[in-house]
Structure 1
Amino acid sequence: MTFSVVARCAETGMFGVAVSSSSPAVAARCAYARAGVGAVASQNVTDPSLGIRALDLLALGADAGQAIEVLRASSRHMEFRQVLAVDAQGSTAIHSGPRALGIWAEARGVDVACGGNLLASPDVPQRMVEAFEASSGPLGDRLIAVMRAALAAGGEAGPVRSAGMKLVDKVSWPVADLRVDWSENCPVEGLAALWQLYKPQLADYVTRAIDPSAAPSYGVPGDE
Structure 2
Amino acid sequence: MKNIYLIILFFSFSFEALSQLNRPNDPLAHTYSIVARDAETGEMAVAVQSHWFSVGTAVSWGEAGVGVVATQSFTNKSFGLRGLAMLKAGLSPQEALDSLLNNDDGKAFRQVAILDAKGRVATHTGAKCIDEAGHANGDDFSVQANMMLNDTVVPEMEEAWKKHSNLPLAERMVKVLEAAQAQGGDIRGKQSAALLVVKAEASDEPWNDRVLDLRVDDHQNPVQELNRLVKVYRAYEHMNQGDYFVEKGKMQKAMNEYNAAMEMFPKNLEMQYWTAITLANDGKIERATEMLQEIYKEDANWRELTKRLPKVGLLEVEDKELKKLLK
Give the TM-score of the pair, scaled to structure 1: 0.89
- Percent sequence identity over matched residues? 33
Q: How does 1:3-14 map to 2 (within 5 A)?
A: 3-14=32-43
In the aligned structure 2, how far is the partner of 1:166 from the partner of 1:203? Answer: 20
Q: Partner letter of residue 182 of structure 1?
A: D
1:48 aligned residue = 77
2:222 is aligned with 1:197: no
2:185 is aligned with 1:155: yes
Secondary structure at 1:99's aligned position in 2?
coil
In the aligned structure 2, how far is the partner of 1:72 from the partner of 1:175? Answer: 30
In the aligned structure 2, how far is the partner of 1:205 from the partner of 1:165? Answer: 21
CA apart distance, 1:74:
2.7
Q: How does 1:56-205 map to 2 (within 5 A)?
A: 56-135=85-164, 136-169=166-199, 170=201, 171=203, 172=206, 173-183=209-219, 185-202=220-237
Change (3 A) 1:188 1:50: same
Aligned length in residues: 220
- Residues 23-79 of structure 1, C-alpha deviations (whole Å, 9 max, x = no match): 110011110111111111011111110111111111111121111111111333112
In the aligned structure 1, how far is the partner of 2:237 from the partner of 2:73? Answer: 31
Secondary structure at 2:137's aligned position in 1?
strand
2:24 aligned residue = none
CA RMSD of aligned residues (A): 2.6
In the aligned structure 1, how far is the partner of 2:176 from the partner of 2:153? Answer: 10
Q: Partner letter of residue 167 of structure 1?
A: V
Change (3 A) 1:87 1:204: farther
Change (3 A) 1:81 1:132: same
Q: Partner letter of residue 77 of structure 1?
A: G
In the aligned structure 2, how far is the partner of 1:204 from the partner of 1:95? Answer: 41
CA apart distance, 1:95:
1.1
- Residues 180-207 of structure 1, C-alpha deviations (whole Å, 9 max, x = no match): 1001x2110010001110124358779x
Question: Structure 1 or 2: larger helix share?
Answer: 2
Larger Rg: 2
Q: Partner letter of residue 168 of structure 1?
A: V
Secondary structure at 1:175's aligned position in 2?
strand
8 Å CA contact retained: 1:109, 1:129: no
Question: Structure 1 or 2: larger strand share?
Answer: 1
Q: Partner letter of residue 102 of structure 1?
A: D
CA apart distance, 1:179:
0.9
Larger RCO, structure (CA 8 Å, separation 6 or more) = 1
In the aligned structure 2, how far is the partner of 1:125 from the partner of 1:85? Answer: 17
Gaps of 5+ in 1: none
Q: Paired residue for 2:58, among 29, 40, 55?
A: 29
8 Å CA contact retained: 1:26, 1:162: yes
In the aligned structure 2, how far is the partner of 1:36 from the partner of 1:204? Answer: 27
Secondary structure at 2:210's aligned position in 1?
coil
Give the TM-score of the pair, scaled to structure 2: 0.62
Q: Partner letter of residue 147 of structure 1?
A: L
